[in-house]
C-alpha cells in the first residue's frame, strides 16, 4: 500500500472552469479507484489544479485489490443430488462448465466449493470461489478514463496526436501524464499519452524546463521549489489574498481591494506563481461612474480596484502577475498603459451617451425585438408601465402611480446606450446615472437601476417604493408573458429565469409587507397583455384547467395564464418556506388555502405551529379531515343547491340529538371569537380558540349519523359541518396536520 499521484499536463485551461475541473477530476478519480477496491483504510484525497495541470494525490492505494468471494447459485438440491445423496449428471455437467474436471476428487471439491442455502421455501446449492484481486494498473486505467469522461468540460476540443493520424477530444491538448505509485510508474495510457514521471514547471520561472517527479509524496514540494508553481488551487488563492492585503496595507489610508470571489477564482486559475504589483491611473477618470471603471478593470484586465474606507473607488489598483521580474517597473507601466486606453473608452462612451436625453431613446425600443411572440421592447415597456401604474395606485395613490409610470417608461432606455452595449452588466445602473443627469428625481432614477432587483438569491431589494412597483411589474410581465406562450421551466432548464422572477416577487411582497393580493396583480398583468398571449397548440408541460379560445391573431389564446402563473409562484413560495425550516405539513396547511396576501403567510405559519403544539390539535385535525371527506362526497349536491339560491342555514329545530345541539351551541360561541381574532390579524388566537371544539366534535361523530335517510335532517347536519369547516379553516386547512 503506497500513495498515488496522477497529473495531466495540458495547455492553458479555461480559467472560469478550472476550479470545478480540478475538484471534479480528483473526486471522480478517488471514487473510481475506491469502487475497484484499491483503497486502503484512511485513504485521503488532495486535489491540485493550475492553468496547465490537473492532478490528484491519493493516500493508501493498494498495489492489488483484495480477493473477493464470488457466489454462484447452481440448482435446487432435488436436481443436484439423487435419492442416495450422490451428484446427478446435471450437477457434474454444471461443475465441469465451471472448470472442475477431476472426477476422482469430485466429492471433495463439492465439500470445499459448494454449500447448501435456503430461501425459506427451497434448498439449493451455491458455488463459492475467490476471485483474484485486480492489479492497480488495470484499475487505474479504468478509473482514469472514467474520471476524464465525467469532467464538466465547458467545450470540447478535437486535436491531432503526434503520430499525425489519430485525434482525440479533451478540454485542451494534453502533453504529459504522470502516474506514480510511491516511486514506481504505473503504466497507464490516456489521450494518446503513456504515463511517466516527467512534467513541466512554470514557463519562465522554473529552474529547468523539465521536472522529474521522484515519488508521489514529493510532487507538491518539487513543483513549488523546482518548478516555481503552486499546484494547489486553494493554497495559490490564499497566497493571492495575502499579497493583495499586504499591498493595500502598504499604501495606507484604509484602502482595500474590492471583494469579488469570482474574480479571485479566475485570477487564481490564470497564474501559477502569483506576484502582486500596485498600479495607478489618472484621477480625472474618476469623473466616470465608478461602476464603469470597476467593471472595466475586473472584466477586461482582471485587476483588483482599490476602494477607500468609505467604499469609493480610488485611482489605484492591484495587478496579479504570473512572473517575478527583478525590475517591476516595465510590468507596472505596461499594465497602466493598457488600462488607460480602456478607461478612455469608458469615458468616451459616458460622454457620448449624455449628449442625448434618456427619454429620447424610448421610441427606438420599438425597433428592438423582445420576443418574436411577445413583440418589441417598446411594447414590453408599455405593458410594464401599465402594470407598475396599477400597483402604484394600490400602494400609494396617484402620486406613486405617476412616478412608477415614469420610471417604467425609462427603465429599458439605457439598453440603447453605448456604455450598456459595451458592458451589458451595467444595464439599469447607467440608466440611473443618465436619468439623474437629465434632472429626473432620485426616486425615479434609483427605481430605473433597481427594477432588475433582486437579481440573484440574497440580492438586495429595490430601495424605494417606486422601484418596488416597477420591479414587481417587470417580473410579473415576464412571468405572465412566458407562461402565456408556453415557455415554462422544465427540469433544470429555465432560460428566462422564471424561478428567480417568482422568488423576487415573493421576497418583495413579504419583506416589504405589501398589502397586495397576489392573484389580483397577476390578473392585472394578464389583462394588460390582451390577445398578445397565445399558443400555437397544447402546452406540453402544463395542464390547462379550461379550454382555449380562438383569438384575433388566428391562433389559440390561453385563458389560464393567471392560474398557471399563480400556481408557479405558490410552488416557489412553498419551497422557500420549507428551506426556512417550516415543516411540509405546516406549509401545506397554510398554502392550500392560497392566501392572497403573501405578506401575512409567516404569521399564519406561526399560528399553525403554535396550534399544532396544543393537546387538542391532533384530534381536531383528524376531525377536520373527516368533515372534509364527508362534505367532498356531497359537494355536487351543495353546488347545485347553491346555484338554486339555497343558503344552507342551520334550522335549530332540526337539531334532535344532544350531541349535535351541543356542537351547535359551542360553535355559535366559538366561531365569532375566532372570526374576530382573524379579522384583527391575531391568527394564533383565532386557531387556539378552536381547542374548545374538541369534545363536542368527538361526541358528535360518536353519537350522530350524518348521512341519515331523512333529507332534511341530513341537509341540516351537513350545513352544521359546513359551518364547522369554515370556522376551523379560516387561518389554514388544519386537516393537513392530520397524520
CA-to-CA distance for 489 and 234, rounded, in angstroms?
36
566-569-573 Cα angle (round to 5):
135
DSSP reduced 3-state for 531: helix
181 Cβ contact partners less than 8 Å away, ≥ 6 residues apart: 2, 3, 4, 61, 63, 136, 216
Concatenated DSSP letters of 193-247: EE-BSEEE--TTT-SSSEEE--SGGGHHHHHHHTS-----HHHHHHHHHHHHHHH
- Assess contact for 462 and 508: CB atoms under 8 A: yes
CA-to-CA distance for 655 and 667, rounded, in angstroms?
14
CA-to-CA distance for 305 and 279, rounded, in angstroms?
10
Predicted local confidence at residue 558, as pLDDT: 54
CA-to-CA distance for 718 and 725, rounded, in angstroms?
10
Query: Judging by DSSP bridges, how do beta strands 167-170 and 313-321 pair with one another?
Result: unpaired
548 Cβ contact partners less than 8 Å away, ≥ 6 residues apart: 535, 556, 557, 558, 559
In sequence order, the β-bridge partners of residue 157 are 170
- 575: how many CB neighbours lie within 10 A of its CB? 14
Q: Which of 624, 638, 584, 637 is nearest to 727 (CA)?
A: 624
694 Cβ contact partners less than 8 Å away, ≥ 6 residues apart: 616, 619, 620, 623
Phi, psi of 353, deg, nearest 5: -60, -35
For residue 414, what is the DSSP state? G
* Sequence spans of domains, the chain: 2-65+135-225, 71-131, 233-353, 386-581, 600-737
Predicted local confidence at residue 648, as pLDDT: 61
Predicted local confidence at residue 278, as pLDDT: 96
CA-to-CA distance for 543 and 546, rounded, in angstroms?
9
- Where does 2-65+135-225 sit in CATH, by number? 3.30.70
Report CA dihedral (553, 554, 555, 561) to the nearest 10 degrees: 40
CA-to-CA distance for 685 and 663, rounded, in angstroms?
20
Burial 52-63 (b: 16+ CB within 10 A, else e): bbbbbbbbebbe
Burial 521-532 (b: 16+ CB within 10 A, else e): bbbbbbebbeeb
Count the residues in the chain.
739
CA-to-CA distance for 583 and 321, rounded, in angstroms?
51
Distances from the Cα of 579 to the Cα of 385, 576, 582, angstroms: 34, 5, 7
Sheet holding 114-118, edge to edge: 68-76, 123-131, 114-118
CA 36 to chain centre: 33
- Assess contact for 151 and 25: CB atoms under 8 A: yes
- 240: how many CB neighbours lie within 10 A of its CB? 21
DSSP reduced 3-state for 85: coil
Q: Which of 296, 277, 299, 276 is nearest to 285 (CA)?
A: 296
Say what the pTM is: 0.80
What is the mean pLDDT for each group of 10 consecutive residues in the chain (739 residues)? 97 96 97 94 96 97 86 83 84 83 75 81 83 88 95 92 87 96 96 96 93 97 96 98 96 94 97 96 96 95 96 96 93 96 96 96 96 92 97 97 98 97 95 97 98 93 97 97 88 89 96 95 92 55 37 46 92 94 92 93 92 88 86 64 58 84 90 91 91 89 83 84 88 87
CA-to-CA distance for 106 and 126, rounded, in angstroms?
16
CA 620 to chain centre: 38
Sheet holding 256-257, edge to edge: 256-257, 304-307, 313-321, 275-280
Predicted local confidence at residue 14, as pLDDT: 96
96 Cβ contact partners less than 8 Å away, ≥ 6 residues apart: none
- Assess contact for 212 and 22: CB atoms under 8 A: no
Q: What is the 3-state secondary structure (H, E, C) of 663-729?
A: HHHHHHHHHHHHHHHHHCCCHHHHHHHHHHHHHHHHHHHHHCCCCCCCHHHHHHHHHHHHHHHHHHC
- Rounded to the nearest 10 degrees, the angle between the axes of helix 261-270 and helix 233-251 is 110
CA-to-CA distance for 556 and 559, rounded, in angstroms?
9
CA-to-CA distance for 465 and 20, rounded, in angstroms?
40
Burial class (CB in 10 A: 0-12, 13-18, 19+), 550: exposed
382 Cβ contact partners less than 8 Å away, ≥ 6 residues apart: none
Helix-, strand-, coil-residue percentages of the chain, each rounded to 5: 55, 15, 30
Predicted local confidence at residue 641, as pLDDT: 55
Please state which CATH class domain 600-737 belongs to: mainly alpha
Amino acid at each position: 500500500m503506497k500513495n498515488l499521484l496522477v497529473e495531466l499536463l495540458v495547455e492553458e485551461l479555461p480559467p472560469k472552469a478550472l476550479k470545478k475541473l480540478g475538484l471534479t477530476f480528483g473526486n471522480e478519480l478517488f471514487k473510481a479507484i475506491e469502487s475497484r477496491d484499491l483503497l486502503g483504510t484512511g485513504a485521503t484525497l488532495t486535489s491540485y489544479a493550475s492553468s496547465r495541470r490537473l492532478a490528484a494525490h491519493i493516500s493508501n492505494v493498494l498495489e492489488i485489490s483484495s480477493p473477493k468471494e464470488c457466489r454462484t447459485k447452481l440448482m435446487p438440491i432435488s436436481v443436484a443430488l439423487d435419492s442416495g445423496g450422490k451428484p446427478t449428471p446435471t450437477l457434474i455437467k454444471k461443475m465441469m462448465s465451471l472448470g472442475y474436471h477431476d472426477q476422482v476428487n469430485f466429492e471433495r471439491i463439492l465439500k470445499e466449493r459448494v454449500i447448501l442455502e435456503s430461501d425459506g421455501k427451497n434448498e439449493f446449492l451455491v458455488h463459492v470461489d475467490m476471485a483474484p484481486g485486480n492489479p492497480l494498473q488495470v484499475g487505474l486505467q479504468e478509473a482514469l478514463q472514467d474520471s476524464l469522461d465525467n469532467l464538466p468540460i465547458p467545450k470540447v476540443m478535437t486535436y491531432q496526436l503526434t503520430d499525425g493520424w489519430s485525434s482525440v477530444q479533451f478540454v485542451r491538448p494534453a502533453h504529459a501524464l504522470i502516474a506514480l505509485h510511491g516511486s514506481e510508474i504505473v503504466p497507464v495510457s490516456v489521450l494518446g499519452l503513456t504515463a511517466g514521471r516527467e512534467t513541466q514547471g512554470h514557463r519562465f520561472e522554473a529552474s529547468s524546463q523539465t521536472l522529474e517527479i521522484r515519488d508521489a509524496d514529493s510532487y507538491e514540494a518539487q513543483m513549488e521549489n523546482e518548478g516555481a508553481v503552486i499546484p494547489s488551487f486553494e493554497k495559490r488563492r490564499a497566497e493571492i489574498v495575502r499579497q493583495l492585503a499586504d499591498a493595500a496595507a502598504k499604501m495606507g489610508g484604509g484602502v482595500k481591494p474590492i471583494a469579488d470571489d469570482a474574480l479571485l477564482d479566475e485570477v487564481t486559475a490564470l497564474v501559477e506563481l502569483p506576484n502582486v504589483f500596485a498600479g495607478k491611473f489618472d484621477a480625472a477618470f474618476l469623473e466616470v461612474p465608478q461602476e464603469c471603471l470597476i467593471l472595466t478593470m475586473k472584466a477586461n484586465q482582471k485587476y483588483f480596484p482599490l476602494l477607500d474606507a468609505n467604499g469609493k473607488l480610488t485611482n489605484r489598483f492591484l495587478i496579479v502577475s504570473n512572473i517575478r521580474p527583478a525590475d517591476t517597473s516595465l510590468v507596472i507601466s505596461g499594465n497602466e498603459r493598457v488600462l488607460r486606453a480602456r478607461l478612455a473608452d469608458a469615458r468616451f462612451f459616458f460622454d457620448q451617451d449624455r449628449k442625448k436625453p434618456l427619454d429620447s431613446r424610448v421610441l427606438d425600443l420599438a425597433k428592438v425585438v423582445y420576443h418574436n411572440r411577445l413583440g418589441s421592447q417598446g411594447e414590453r415597456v408599455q405593458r410594464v408601465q401599465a402594470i407598475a401604474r396599477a400597483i402604484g395606485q394600490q400602494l400609494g395613490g396617484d402620486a406613486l402611480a405617476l412616478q412608477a409610470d415614469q420610471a417604467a417608461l425609462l427603465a429599458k432606455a439605457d439598453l440603447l446606450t453605448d456604455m450598456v452595449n459595451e458592458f451589458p452588466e451595467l444595464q439599469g445602473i447607467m440608466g440611473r446615472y443618465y436619468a439623474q443627469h437629465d434632472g429626473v428625481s432620485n426616486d425615479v432614477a434609483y427605481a430605473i437601476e433597481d427594477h432588475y432587483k433582486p437579481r440573484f438569491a440574497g440580492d438586495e431589494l429595490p430601495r424605494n417604493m417606486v422601484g418596488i412597483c416597477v420591479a414587481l411589474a417587470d417580473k410579473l410581465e415576464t412571468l405572465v408573458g412566458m407562461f402565456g406562450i408556453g415557455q415554462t421551466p422544465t427540469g433544470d432548464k429555465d432560460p428566462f429565469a422564471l424561478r428567480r422572477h417568482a422568488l423576487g416577487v415573493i421576497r418583495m411582497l413579504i419583506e416589504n409587507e405589501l398589502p397586495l393580493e397576489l392573484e389580483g396583480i397577476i390578473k392585472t398583468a394578464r389583462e394588460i397583455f390582451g390577445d398578445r398571449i397565445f399558443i400555437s397548440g397544447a402546452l406540453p408541460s402544463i395542464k390547462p384547467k379550461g379550454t382555449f379560445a380562438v383569438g384575433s391573431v388566428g391562433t389559440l389564446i390561453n385563458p389560464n395564464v393567471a392560474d398557471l402563473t399563480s400556481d408557479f409562484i405558490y410552488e416557489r413560495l412553498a419551497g422557500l418556506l420549507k428551506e426556512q425550516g417550516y415543516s411540509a405539513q405546516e406549509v401545506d396547511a397554510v398554502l392550500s388555502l392560497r392566501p392572497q396576501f403573501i405578506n401575512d403567510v409567516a404569521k399564519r405559519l406561526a399560528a399553525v405551529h403554535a396550534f399544532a403544539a396544543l393537546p387538542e390539535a391532533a384530534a381536531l385535525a383528524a376531525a377536520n379531515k373527516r368533515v372534509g371527506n364527508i362534505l367532498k362526497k356531497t359537494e355536487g349536491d351543495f353546488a347545485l343547491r347553491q346555484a338554486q339560491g339555497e343558503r344552507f342555514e342551520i334550522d335549530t329545530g332540526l337539531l334532535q340529538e344532544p350531541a349535535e345541539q351541543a356542537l351547535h351551541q359551542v360553535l355559535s360561541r366559538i366561531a365569532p371569537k375566532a372570526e374576530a381574532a382573524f379579522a384583527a390579524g391575531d391568527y394564533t388566537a383565532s386557531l387556539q380558540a378552536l381547542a374548545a371544539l374538541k369534545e363536542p366534535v368527538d361526541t358528535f361523530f360518536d353519537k350522530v349519523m350524518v348521512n341519515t335517510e331523512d333529507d332534511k335532517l341530513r341537509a341540516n347536519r351537513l350545513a352544521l359541518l359546513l359551518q364547522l369547516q369554515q370556522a376551523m379553516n379560516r387561518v389554514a386547512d388544519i386537516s393537513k396536520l392530520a397524520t
